Structure 1
């Protein structure tokens, strides 16, 4: 839908590490381009990486 209506060349997203989202999005063609280590605090002692991903639409 984004490809048809807005015409972008790529989409970007940030996902929470440690929840299997990297693998889920990877199977859909998304590529990991970076991480912010321990950027997300879910609870005391439960810090997760923020995973930066991109999907090329070209």
Structure 2
């Protein structure tokens, strides 16, 4: 089985960050953008996104 991959667009990356800042889960973001959850979590990890909980700060 051959798989093809398409890179995330700048618009998708912006949407991922905006949704994550609003508290959306990676799975919700993946459903909204019609991307695999692993793609979303990889993008969040790659770009160093940390939630308030991970940073130890209060929102």
With normalisation by structure 1, the TM-score equals 0.31
The structure where helix makes up a greater share of residues is 2
The structure where strand makes up a greater share of residues is 1
Decide which structure has the larger Cα Rg and report it: 1
